[in-house]
Structure 1
Amino acid sequence: MYVKVVWHHEFDEEPTLLLSEIENRREVRKVEKFGDGRTQFAGPEGSTGDTTLSETLMPSPREIAQDPQFSLELMSAEDFEAEWRAAGGR
Structure 2
Amino acid sequence: MSQTTFTLDDLKRILLEGSGAPEGGGLDDDILDTDFSDIGYDSLALLETASRIEREYGIELDETVVGDATTPRAFVDAVTTHLAATAA
Q: Could you say which TM-score interval applies, normalised by the shorter chain? A: under 0.3
Q: Indicate the structure with greater helix content.
A: 2
Q: Indicate the structure with greater strand content.
A: 1
- TM-score normalised by L of structure 1: 0.24
